[in-house]
Chain A
Amino acid sequence: MRPLVLAALVALASAPASVSAEPIAAPEPEPRPLGLDIRRAQLPNGLRVVLAVDPTSPTVAVDVVYDVGARNEVPGRSGFAHLFEHMMFQGSSRVPRGEHFRLVTAHGGTLNGTTSSDRTNYFELLPRSELPLALWLEADRMKSLDISQSNFENQRQVVKEEYRMRIENRPYAPANIELQATVFEGHFPYSHATIGTMADLDSASLDWVRAFHNSYYAPNNAVLAIAGDIDPDETLRLVRQIFGDAKPVANVPKYPGGTVPEQTAERQRTVNDPHAKLPAVFYGWAAPASRQREHYALELAAMALGDGESSRLYRKLVREQSQALEVDVSLWGHRGPDMFEIDVKLAASGSLARVQSVVEEEIDSLARNGPTPAELTKLRQRIKHGFLFGLQSNYARAQQLAEFELYWGDATLLRSELGHYLTVSADDIRRAVASTLTKARRSRIEVRPRTEGAVQ
C-alpha cells in the first residue's frame, strides 16, 4: 500500500511567483510542532532562494528545482525533460565528465536528480562543511553545459535501459501508463509518461539538449532550496557569490496550460501483461489541481478508502473477503490537473466482478454519507502524523519548500498546509466524492496476466 505522500502540495500556478526582495525576510514565528525556520530571498537575476535552518544534524541538503518537466514536452518529444536531466551530469564548463559524481562522493555526500510531470530537480546531501561545493557544482551546470554527441548517445542508451527496467520488465507498469493516457485523453501535457516512449527517445537529438538548456535552465526559472545546519547570512552570501553571475533568460517558454476535456462516459481498456501473475484493475478519474479545497477533500477520501489496513477497501477486499492481494488509493499530486487512482491487484481466487462491486459500494457510501466521525478523527490524526514524520530529513524539507515556492509562489505556505487538511469536513468529503468519482468520469484498465505457457 502506498503511504500517504506528504499531502499533494500542488495546484495550478497561474499567477507569477511573488517573492521577497533582498535582504532575507525576517523569520516568521516558529510553528509547532514542525518548527520550520524558513527564510526567503531573490537574487537580482531572478533566482528564488529558500533557506530552512535546522541544526539537529550537521548536514545540509542543496536542491535546485527547475520549472520544467514532462508537461512542457510536445508530441514527438516525450521523455526529453528526463533525458536532459541525465545530460546535466555529463559535465559543465569547469567540471569534467564524471567529476560531479566523484566530487560529491569524495566529500561524503550523495546526489541525484529526478523528473516529474511538473518539474525537474537536482540535489546534493552533504556534511554541512561542504555547502560551498554543492552550490558551486549546481551553479556551474546552470550556467553552462559541456556536452558531446558521444555522451548524448551513451545517456540515450542508459535511459533506454531505465525504460526497460521501469516499464518493459515490470508488471503493471504498462497498465499504469495506459491509465494516465486514458484519464488525461486530449490533454498531452499530463497524458504521457515522464519517461516517454522508446521511439521518441530514439529521435531525440543533441541540438535539442543545447536549446533546452538555453530555454529553461536559468536562474529566473528555478528555485534553490537549502535545508539543514546552515548560517542563513553566510549561506546567502555564498549563494550571491556563486549564483550571482548566472544570466537570466529573457523569454522562458510559457507552459501552454489547457484543460482536460470533460469525460462523459466510462472508458475501458485491457492490457495483456506478460510479467503479471495476477489480474489487476486500475481505476482513474481526472481531479482538480492540488491545493484546491476539493483536492484536500479528495485526499482524505483516498485515505478513507485505502490508507492503512483499517481503511475501507483494504479491510474488505484483503482482510475480510480475500479478494485482493493489494489495494492502493492515491492522488498523483500534480500542480496541474490531477488524477484520483484506485489500483487493486486481485488474489488468485479473487473475482473481478466482486472487486468492482466492493469498490463501487464504498465509493457510493462515501458519496452518500461521507466518513463516520470516528473515521474522520483517524484521518486527521494520520495526516498530522504524516506531516510530523514526513518532514524530518533535510531533503524532505528542501524539496517541499522548493515546490511550494515554485508552484504557489511562497514556501512559507507549507506552514499552514496542515491546517487545510484539518478543516476538511465530512460533508466536504462527501461532496467531493459525489462530484468527482462518478462512473461517467471513470477510466478502467483491466490487466490480464500471461497464462501458463502463452506467448503474447
Chain B
Amino acid sequence: MKSVFLFTALLTACGATPVASSGPPRVTIPVAPSASVADPGPPPSLASKEALFPKVARRVLPNGLEVAVVEAHALPIVQVRLFVRAGMGYGGPALASLTAQLLKDGGTRSMKNTELVERIERLGATLSVQTGLDSTVLGLGITKEHLSEAIAILAEMVRSPRFEETELDKLKARATDEAEDSARSDGSWTATRVLFHELYQSTSPYAVYDASPADIRKVTGKTVRTFHRRFYVPKNTTLVVAGDTTLDLAADVAVHSFGTWAGGNAPVREAVPLVASKGRRVVIAHRPQSAQSDVFAVGTVPQRDTPDWPAIRVATQVLGGGPASRLFMDVREKRSLAYQTRASLIELAQGPQPVVAYAGTRTAKTAEALDGLLENLERMVTAAPSEDELATARRYLVDVFAIRMETVGAIADMVVTESTLGLGDGYWDRYRAKLRTVDAKAVGEVSRAMFRPTLIVVAGDADVIGTSLTRFGVVTVVDPEHEFRLVRTLPAAAAAR
C-alpha cells in the first residue's frame, strides 16, 4: 500500500539468529513519578522458549555442487536460492550483474527469452536475480509440489544460456538507463558508490559498487561468456532449499538437474587492499537542487571473521542501531536534524569492512548534522556505554533473530549469508552465545579503533553545502551524472577539525 508512512524505519539487524529470551538479564523498567505505588508497571514476563537456528543439512554432489537444506514443515512451501560466489566487482565491473540478468532475459537452448519467465510465473512464483558484493543469488518461492520443476528451470538457466547478443544489447541499454537514473535520483546510491571507490584500491573487487554507463559499455558477449565459464561452475555454487522438503528429496532433485553439470575449480578470490588513509577526506557527490543531504561518516573494522565481531556489532547497535540508540535519540529526537539516522556495518566476505554513521538532513543543516554524527562517534570513543545501553543492545541483537526468522525465505537468506561470508554451520547460535558475553571493556576497545572516520561522503547540492564542509577537511566534489568525474576541490578551512 503506497500511502503508508513509516514512522521509524524498521530496525536493521546484521545477520540474524534465533531468539533466546533466557539470555541477558532483564532491563529495569522505570515508572514515571506520577504512577501509583499500587500500579508498579507491566505484568511480569511470560515463559520464554529457546529458539535455535534450524539445522542445516548439507550434501556435496560428485561434481562439487553443494546442496544445503533447512526443513520447515509448517506450510507446504519451499524457498530456493541458487547462489554463485560472484559479486558485483568480481572479474570486472558490471559483469556479474549483467551475466545474471542475461541468464533470465536471454533464454536457454530450449526456451526463448520470455518462455522462461512465463513458465516460472505460471507456477505462481517470481524469479529474483540479485547481485550483491560477494554473490549472485537466483531465488524463488514455490509450493512444494513444484520443487522439481523449479529447480530444473534454474539448472537450465545456469547450464544452457543462449546469451544472445540482441538480448544483451537490450539489457545493456536498460542497465545504462538505470545507472543514469540512480546517479541523479538516488543520493544513497551515489554516496555508496563513492564510499567503495574511495575506500578500496582500484584492483579490489570492492572498488566498484554497482555499475556506471562506462562500465556497462565495456561488457560484450565474449566477456559475459568468459565470466560465465569461470564463475558459474558447480564448485563455486550452492543450492539452498528451505521449507517443506528433506535433504534426500532436495538432493535427488539436484542430482537430476545438476548432476552432469561440469566445470573447473572455484576462482581464487582477489585481494582487497584499502586505499592508504592520508587524514580525513570529504567527498561530495553533487546533486543539484537536493532538498536533503545524505551524510555518511565512514570508518572500517577488521575482516568479518575477527573474534571481535560480536563486540563490534554491539558497539554499532549502541551508536545507531534503532530507536533506542544514541544517534536516534540525539540527532533525531533531540536535535530534530533527521528523520533517518543510524549506524550500520556493510558485511563483506573478506578484508576490512565499512562501518557507516548516517543521517539524511535538510540541505541547510548538512554541516550541523555532520557535527552531530561526529560528536556521537567521538563519544563512543571517550565514553563507555552504560550497563543499560549494553544490556539493551545485547538483548536486542540476541532476541531479534527469532522475529526475523518467521518466514522460510528469511531462513534461506540466512543460510546464503552464512555461506557467502564463510561463517560455517551453527554460526548464528555461536554468535548469539558470544553476544551475551560482550562487556563494556570489549566495546570500548573496538570503539576506539572503529569510530574514527577517515572518510566523509555527502550526496547533496555542492553549490550550497560545499564551503560549509571545508571545516571538516579538504572537500572534493564529483559529478555522479558524468561518471563521477572531478568537478572541483576546496581546500580545508584553517580551523578544520
Contacts and interface: CB of A to CB of B under 8 A. Distances in A.
Contacts, number: 299
A127 B402 contact: yes
A166 B46 contact: no
Q: Which of A93, A127, A325 has the most CB of B within 10 A?
A: A127
B406 A154 contact: no
B4 A378 contact: no
Contacts of A276: 184-185
A247 interface: no
A377 B76 CA distance: 20
A386 B76 CA distance: 13
Contacts of B408: 392
Given A96-B32, A110-B11, A164 B173 contact: no
A162 B76 CA distance: 40
Interface size class of A (residues with CB under 8 A): 35 or more
B43 A168 contact: no
B174 A385 contact: no
B331 to A, nearest CB: 10
B347 interface: no
Interface stretch (A11-19, A51-59, A362-370): A51-59
A393 to B, nearest CB: 4
Contact of B118 (A59, A168, A241, A310): A310
Interface string B11-42: 10000000101000011011110110001011
Contact of B177 (A113, A278, A385): A278
B125 interface: yes
B174 A114 contact: no
A418 interface: no
Interface stretch (A82-90, A215-223, A352-360): A82-90
B49 A229 contact: yes
Given A112-B8, A315-B114, A164 B292 contact: yes
Nearest to B36: A94
B6 A165 contact: no
A386 B34 CA distance: 48
B291 interface: yes
A176 B2 contact: yes
Interface stretch (A131-139, A254-262, A406-414, A424-432): A131-139
A392 B336 contact: no
A128 interface: yes
B248 interface: no
Interface stretch (A98-106, A200-208, A434-442): A98-106
Given A112-B6, A332-B2, A347-B177, A169 B48 contact: no
A394 B406 contact: yes
Nearest to B3: A194
A94 B398 contact: no
Interface stretch (B81-89, B267-275, B322-330, B416-424): B322-330
Contacts of A450: 184, 288-289
A151 to B, nearest CB: 9
A22 interface: no
A422 interface: no
B45 A129 contact: yes
Interface stretch (B249-257, B306-314, B388-396, B448-456): B388-396
A5 B1 contact: yes
A253 interface: no
A106 B45 contact: no
A375 to B, nearest CB: 10
B69 interface: no
A381 B124 contact: yes
A285 B76 CA distance: 38
Contacts of A137: 42
Nearest to B328: A101
A117 B2 CA distance: 10
Interface in A41-64: 54, 56-59
A17 B395 CA distance: 40
Interface residues of B, number: 98
Contacts of B41: 94, 136
Given A111-B323, A161-B361, A105 B392 contact: yes
A108 B21 contact: yes
A244 interface: no
A77 interface: no
Contacts of B7: 85-86, 89, 112-115
A274 B21 CA distance: 49
Contacts of A135: 42
Contacts of A117: 3
Contact of A106 (B3, B27, B39, B122): B27
A158 B324 contact: no
A378 B124 CA distance: 7
Contacts of B32: 93-96, 146
A128 B48 contact: yes
Interface class of chain B by DSSP: loop
A110 B121 contact: no
Interface in B335-372: 336-340, 360-362
Interface in A329-369: 330, 332-333, 345, 347-349
A389 B117 contact: no
B395 A108 contact: yes
A393 B46 contact: no
A388 B75 contact: yes
B174 A347 contact: yes
B121 A57 contact: no
B324 to A, nearest CB: 4
Nearest to B323: A101
Nearest to B73: A56
A280 B26 CA distance: 53
Q: Which of B177, B336, B402 has the most CB of A within 10 A?
A: B177
A102 B39 CA distance: 20
Interface string A298-325: 0000000000111000010011101001
A277 interface: yes
Contacts of B42: 132-133, 135-137, 242
A384 interface: yes
Contacts of B1: 5, 116, 332-333
A165 B27 contact: no
A280 to B, nearest CB: 10
B34 A103 contact: no
Contact of A322 (B77, B141, B170, B391): B170
Nearest to A349: B173
B289 A105 contact: no
Given A58-B21, A86-B7, A106-B27, A132 B403 contact: no
Contacts of A147: none
B113 interface: yes
A278 B173 CA distance: 13
30 contacts: A2-B2, A57-B402, A58-B19, A58-B51, A59-B403, A98-B329, A101-B322, A103-B29, A105-B395, A112-B7, A113-B7, A114-B7, A127-B48, A127-B49, A133-B29, A137-B42, A157-B336, A161-B339, A165-B339, A169-B187, A169-B290, A170-B185, A319-B105, A345-B181, A347-B173, A385-B125, A388-B77, A389-B409, A393-B407, A394-B403
The 3 closest A-B pairs by CB, nearest first: A108-B399, A385-B124, A136-B42
Interface of A: 2-3, 5, 33, 35, 54, 56-59, 70, 82, 85-86, 89, 93-96, 98-99, 101-117, 125-133, 135-137, 146, 153-154, 157-162, 164-166, 168-171, 176, 180, 193-195, 229, 234, 238, 241-242, 274-278, 308-310, 315, 318-320, 322, 325, 330, 332-333, 345, 347-349, 374, 377-378, 381-382, 384-386, 388-389, 392-394, 450, 455-456
Interface of B: 1-8, 10-11, 19, 21, 26-27, 29-32, 34-35, 39, 41-51, 74-77, 105, 113-114, 117-118, 121-126, 141-143, 170, 173-174, 176-178, 180-181, 183-185, 187, 288-292, 322-324, 328-329, 332-334, 336-340, 360-362, 388, 391-392, 395-396, 398-400, 402-403, 405-409
